[in-house]
Amino acid sequence: MAGDDVRICVEVRNLTVGYDDRIVLRNVSWTVPCGTSAAIIGPNGGGKSTLLRTLVGQLRPLEGTVRVLGRPPGQAGPLLAYLPQSEHIDWDFPIRAVDVVLQGALARTPWWRPPGKDAYAAAMAALERVRLAAEAERPIGALSGGQRQRVLIARALLQDAQLILLDEPATGLDAPAQHELLDVLDDLKREGRTVIATTHDLNCLTDHFDTVLCLRGEVVCQGPPAEALKPEHLQAVFGRHVPLVTAEGRVTIFEHRT
């Protein structure tokens, strides 16, 4: 990793965190090696987004320690990129796709220096890498959901982020758009970047992620997808509506009755 001799990108030890008087995550320990991809799964309210917000420094631990790229949360600077859920972004703001990407250059340049020709060329190169150069001049609000996610990834590329956190990036995307997004995430990992994503799409785990963290207010299991997707683990995570891995490797939902 450029400028940092760090083997572990994320290290969480005995983390407890919550909002006001409500505990959301309790006693979570987890590590993510640099240059790998990790998925976080669990039910709604299970703590997935809360964990990401803690990693970027938006929430303070009540107990435990967190290190991100060898530093305390909030101190990784442009080496860390965080893509929140789409519903938290104002897609109607009148700005072109390339201008969104150019925001990545601001992380490494003084505020008084506007992006120049070199930055614009780099932004176009980043859009090319996520297969969106042809959409550079279009308003961000006119793009599809999958294209918007890839524009944000291009912004992370321009700032040269080494750790990229994505909160439910595939929500609302159709199957082709999901595949395009996952292909881009695979490219990031091949470049040596670290990718962490929360997801409800369990079918993508085996082919696109190295490890899976299962959360339901605490760690239920963690490990390679083949281990995390065992029926007993999925039942503990999701309760009665259990995702079941079929013989073909697909995930279906059935209702567990005791």
Tokens of 199: 């997801």
Q: What is the pLDDT of residue 14?
A: 98
92 burial type by CB count under 10 A (0-12 exposed, 13-18 middle, 19+ buried)? exposed
Token pair 């120049």 in the structure block, residue:
116
Q: Which domains does the chain have, with CATH numbers?
A: 2-87+162-255 (3.40.50.300)
User: How buried is 174 (Cβ within 10 angstroms: 0-12 exposed, 13-18 middle, 19+ buried)?
Assistant: exposed
Closest by Cα among 166, 237, 48, 32 to 251: 237
What are the pLDDT digits (tens) for 55-100? Answer: 999 999 999 999 999 999 999 999 999 999 876 778 888 899 999 9
Q: What is the pTM of this model?
A: 0.87
DSSP category for residue 188: H
> Tokens for 10?
């994320």
Mean pLDDT of the chain: 88
Containing H/E element for 201? none
Residues belonging to the chain:
258
Which two three-digit tokens encode residue 224? 């390679």
Confidence of residue 256 (pLDDT cuts 50, 70, 90): very low
With CA atoms as reference, report the closest residue to 109 among 160, 165, 166, 162.
160
Separation of first and last alpha carbons in the chain: 49
Higher-confidence residue of 72 and 241: namely: 72
The torsion angles phi and psi of 104, rounded to 5 degrees, stand at -65, -30
Predicted confidence (pLDDT) per residue in 152-190, tens digit: 999 999 999 999 999 999 888 888 999 999 999 999 999
